[in-house]
């Protein structure tokens, strides 16, 4: 975690934000209800005494968490960026924090300048619920076949039309490129990491729901490819619960071809320990 120092700041800024999405109605501002965007804009107004519009790298749904959401905003601030970061974190609620804060180039955009995004979904595969984990994992009581889920996830890698798994967030195109998709198991905890140039609305949760059907023996591995070919969301499994999903990282500098497979996972682990 870094704090940018320096003198008086006035202009366009970028920041990395983490939040527990449990008590938010998603990232995007709504006329009624608590949202991450609304909370950040209220903090900026309180600190800078002027209204600022916050733009995010993605619009996470209600209940979805973020470790590495990236935002941008314009603000007038006559002190250092370190002071601005400290002031914002002082007034933000306990379930939101700014990890860092930097000046941003005028032509930079948190969404359109991104090269890839990394989401992680966490499943707790055990019979009894875990009260301390319930906000951040999806509990699955029945046995899961890791090898089957891994084989099914591999079918998602590459450029495909993902209309069967999600809705476009802007425009009509449902074609996305998945650079990596894989499961990891650590005792009863299964994590699904997926990296793509962009994601459709509901795409990751619908992918996870479908992969869990495969892991639970409801569907064969080939069903994943059949849903891709169908382009029909009704053919996929229901959305996995929002609580297990977290936006881990949005990348703007390193291209995916230079950070693939185990390499990007290792790099992501390094980032998480900053």
Cβ-Cβ contacts under 8 Å for 227 (sequence gap 6 or more): 164, 165, 210, 235, 236
Q: Read out DSSP for 231-243?
A: T-GGGSPPPPPGG
Give dist(CA 205, CA 18) in Å, integer: 19
Active-site residue flag, 100: no
Classify strands 245-251 and 65-77 as parallel, antiparallel or unpaired: parallel
Judge contact between 78 and 62, C-beta under 8 A.
Answer: no
Query: How far does Cα 127 stand from its chain's mean position?
Result: 28
Pairing of strands 138-140, 158-161: unpaired
Q: How far is Cα 123 from Cα 143, in angstroms, rounded to an integer?
A: 12
From 20, 61, 83, 133, the catalytic residue: 61
Active site residues: 61
């Amino acid at each position: 975690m870094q704090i940018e120092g320096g003198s008086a700041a006035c202009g366009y800024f970028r920041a990395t934000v983490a939040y527990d999405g449990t008590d938010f109605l998603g990232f995007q501002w709504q006329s009624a209800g608590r949202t991450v965007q609304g909370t950040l804009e209220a903090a900026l107004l309180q600190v800078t005494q002027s209204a600022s519009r916050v733009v995010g790298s993605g619009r996470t749904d209600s209940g979805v968490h973020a470790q590495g959401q990236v935002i941008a905003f314009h603000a007038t601030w006559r002190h250092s960026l370190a002071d601005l970061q400290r002031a914002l974190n002082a007034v933000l609620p306990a379930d939101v924090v700014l990890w860092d804060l930097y000046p941003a180039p005028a032509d930079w955009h948190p969404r359109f300048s991104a090269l890839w995004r990394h989401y992680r979904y966490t499943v707790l595969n055990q019979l009894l619920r875990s009260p301390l984990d319930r906000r951040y994992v999806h509990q699955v009581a029945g046995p899961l076949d890791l090898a089957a889920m891994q084989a099914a996830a591999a079918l998602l890698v590459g450029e495909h039309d993902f209309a069967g798994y999600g809705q476009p967030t802007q425009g009509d195109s449902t074609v996305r490129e998945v650079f990596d998709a894989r499961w990891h198991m650590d005792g009863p905890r299964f994590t699904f990491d997926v990296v793509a140039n962009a994601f459709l609305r509901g795409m990751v949760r619908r992918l996870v729901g479908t992969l869990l059907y495969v892991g639970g023996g409801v569907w064969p591995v080939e069903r994943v490819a059949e849903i891709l070919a169908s382009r029909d969301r009704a053919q996929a499994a229901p959305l996995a619960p929002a609580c297990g999903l977290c936006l881990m990282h949005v990348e703007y500098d390193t291209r995916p071809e230079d950070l693939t497979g185990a390499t990007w996972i290792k790099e992501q682990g390094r980032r998480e320990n900053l």
